[in-house]
Structure 1
C-alpha cells in the first residue's frame, strides 16, 4: 500500500495488486463464520491477469475447503494464475485431503498467503509443499485482517479455549439495567441488529444464571438472512436455573460445579460441563468444538471471566441516556485507575443514536 498526492485534509491509500485481490478474499471468508469450527473461516480467490476466474470459501466443517472450491470454479483458467488464500493451506489429511494438493493440481503458478497456519500439523509445511512443487509463494499480505477473522480458530489451536467476546450495552452514565427491571432495552434497533449478526458469526452465546432466570432470553438469532443459532451456554455453578427456560434447546450447554445436581438437565438432552475453574470451563468448551463465544451477561459472569484474564475482546454499545441508579456492567472489586485494563486496536462507530466501542484485551494468537 502507498499514498498519492491529495489535498492536505485527505490521504488517499492505493492498494497494490496483491492487496486488492487479498481484500476480495478477506471480504469472502467471513461467510463461513460460525459454521466452520473447529476449522477456520478461509477463502481463496484465483486471478488470471486482471480477472477473477475462481473463488470460494469454506462453508462448514466436513465440507470441501476454499482451495478446492476456487480451482473447481476456475477450471482450466487456473493454469498459470495466482491464488490468494487468507490462511496457509493445510498439507495433511483430515476430514478432507490436503488443500495444497488441490492448488498444485490446479496448475496455479503463484500462491499469495495472508498468514501462516498456527496448527502444528501445518505451521509452514503448507508453504513448503507449494514451493517444493515449484510454485512461487508470498506470505504476509494483509495479515492483520486475516488473523482477526481467525481469532477463534487461533485461540483454540494455541490456547485450547474459545476466543471470548464480551458484549453489553450501557447508558452514558455506565448502567446496563435499572434495579429489578431485568431486560430493559438500553440500545436502539441498529445496535440490537448488530448483536444478532454477532450471534450468527460466533459459535456460542453465553449468559449467567442470573440473566437466565431474570430475563429468560431465547439467545436466538433473529433478522439475519440465512442466519443460524449459536450454541447457547449457561454458566450456573449450582445448576438451579429453570430447566424450562427458552435458552435450553438441542446442543445447549450447562457449565456447572463438579458436585451440582444436573439430572433434570441431562434428561432434557442438555450437555453438561463440570468445571472447578473458569479456565477449565473454557477448555472443555473448546473440546466441544466451540472456537468463539459471545458473552452477553450478566455483570457477575463478565466480572468473573474478566478478573480471570479470560475475556479477549470487548464490544460495548453506549446509549445517550442517563439513568442514575442502576446496575454497572462489572461487579469486580474497586481498583486504582492505573490498574485499569486498557483496550487495544480500538474502533469507534456510530449506530443510530448509539456509539459502539470495540477493542482487544488479548493478543490474537499466532504461531
Structure 2
C-alpha cells in the first residue's frame, strides 16, 4: 500500500545508523507516537536500545535493507557513513527515503560538495581537485601556499587532512594521505566558526534555528553557544545561504551548515551535513521544538515546529571519561545532561553532552 503523508502516529520510522544521533531521533519519534526500526551492524547500538525493532546488519546488506523497507513507512539516516547506493536501493524498491541519496552523495565527496555549493551560489574558500602530487604542485601554483589537503572521502573530526606549505612538501603530503583522490583548499581567513541548523518540509517550507557559534579543539567540536550575537546582515546572509542549499537539494529533513565568518562579516561555507548536527544539540533544551523532533516532523510530512530560542545555551561535548562526572554535573541546577549509552570511553569519543542554560529569554 503506497505511503501517504502526513504519517499518522503508529507509523514506523526507519533509521540507518544506531549511534547517538539515531538514539535521540528514536526518542523524539517515540514521543510523537511513532515506532522506530534501527538498522546497524552493532547488536548493542545506543539507538537500538530505545527502538521498537533492531535490524543487526551492515548498512549495505541487501536482506537488511529489504527488511527495513518492509518495516518502515519512511526511512532516514543518522550520519554520512551510510553508502549512498543503499539509499538508492531502498528508493528503487519503493521505500520513501528522506533526505534523498543525492544530498548524501554530495556530502560524502568534498570536491563534489564544494562544486555544488559554488554552483548553488554559496561561497566557499578556493579549491582544486588533486589526483596526484603533480596536481598538488599545480594547485600551489594557481591558488598559492599554504593549502589544506584533504581526502575527498572519509575523515572526520580533523582526520584525513594535512597542511602543505610549499611544493617541496607535495610528495610527502600526497603519500601521507594515502595517494588517493583529494581536494586542496585555500586557508579560511576567519574570526569565528558559526553554524546554522535548519529544516525543510515536504511542502518546501523552511524553518531555521538561531545562529550558533562553534569552538573546535583538535578538529573536534568542543562547545557551541547559541543564539550567537551577530549583525543583522550576517544573520540574513546565513539564512539566505542555508535556504539556497535546502532548495537546491530539494531537501527534506534537518541539515547542518558550518560556515566561517570573516572579519568583514562575509560568510564562507565550510561544509554541510545532511542530518541532525552536533552544533544543534543545544536545541534540546533551548528551543520550543528541538532539531530531532523537527527532523521527524519533516520526514513524516508533519508541519514544522517553531524554532524560537527559549534560553541562551552553551553546549559542551563530553569526551572520553568526562562523562563519568555525571554526578557532579547533575548537581548543577542550570545543566542538562545527555548521555549516549556508549560503552568504552575512548579518548576523544563523544560519550554525551551537557547544555548549560545561562539566560532565559522572557
TM-score (norm 2): 0.26
Larger Rg computed on CA atoms: 1
TM-score (norm 1): 0.25
